[in-house]
Amino acid sequence: MINAVVIGVGGRMGSRIAHWITMTEGIQISGAVEGYGHPMVGHDVGEIIGRGRLGVVITEKLEEVIDKGDVLVEFTHHEATVAHMALAAQMGKPMVIGTTGFTSQEMEAIRGYAGTIPCVLAPNMSVGINVLFKVLRDVAKILGADYEVEIIEAHHNQKKDAPSGTALKMAQIISEALDRDLEKDAVYVRRGVIGARRKNEIGIQTIRGGDIVGEHNVMFVTEGERLEFIHRAHSRDNFARGAVRAAIWVVGKPPGLYDMQDVLGLKE
């Protein structure tokens, strides 16, 4: 039986991950963590997620429960995640990270810690989205430079980072497939008299409103036609199930930075 510690258990994703852990064979919750002063701290996690008492009390300190886990699953804030990964590396605990919004310096730190522990880092753990990642790579290579790329993402009005980590991952995949530099080619805002579109631009646009779980639309556009790929998430459960799948997969793997393509066996 794999013991999992869920960090950020009171959040939109963390609570669903905790729920799906209790519904999945071969894995169980051994620890639950929330931020300082969070109203759920001190409560049994099972009662919070509607599964009855599990005997696992939500704590403010990862240090209090990290030794109870075989794997840590984290959906929190980027600064907190890096601090937690430092502790995980010190304790030799594998991690699954769905947090987004990391700075370049934080990503360097994550890569460094992944030299000590195995870590699945993925902005979106949906199986469907990760199949789409593979499709986008292949399509970009086939269509080549003659097609202009635009990405539009939409999420609920409480999402803190923009564009979404998923949209940025899509842009990175397409940029690499086309042998481009995303730092130079990404366009996040268009306003005023901006002139004609640059040939290598990759547009990444953001919508925020209501309770949209997540929607991503990728367009390959050329003279006379447009090819579109759309993924709509109707519930967070598809992300949560993917995270649980990743948590089971990463235990026992050698140190390294993995993604859901590795978990799903989609890497060439």
Secondary structure in 3-state letters for 38-63: CCCCCCEHHHHCCCCCCCCEEECCHH
Catalytic residue among 38, 43, 77, 159: 159
Q: Which domains are seen in the chain, by residue range?
A: 2-121+236-263 (3.40.50.720), 127-233 (3.30.360.10)
Residue 151: per-residue pLDDT:
99
Gap between the terminal Cα atoms of the chain: 31
Q: Are 16 and 243 in contact (CB under 8 A)?
A: no
- Options 84, 155, 169, 231, the catalytic residue: 155
The dihedral sign for the CA sequence 163, 172, 78, 9:
positive
d(CA 215, CA 89) in angstroms, rounded, equals 34
84 is a catalytic site residue: no
pLDDT tens for the chain, residues 1 to 268: 999 999 999 998 999 999 999 999 999 999 999 999 899 999 999 998 888 899 999 999 999 999 999 999 999 999 999 999 999 999 999 999 999 889 999 999 999 999 999 999 998 899 999 999 999 999 999 999 999 999 999 999 999 889 999 999 999 999 999 999 999 999 999 999 999 999 899 999 999 999 999 999 999 999 999 999 999 999 889 999 999 999 999 999 999 999 999 999 987 6
How far, in Å, are 12, 56, 66 from residue 42 at the CA level?
19, 9, 17
Can 155 be counted among the known catalytic residues?
A: yes
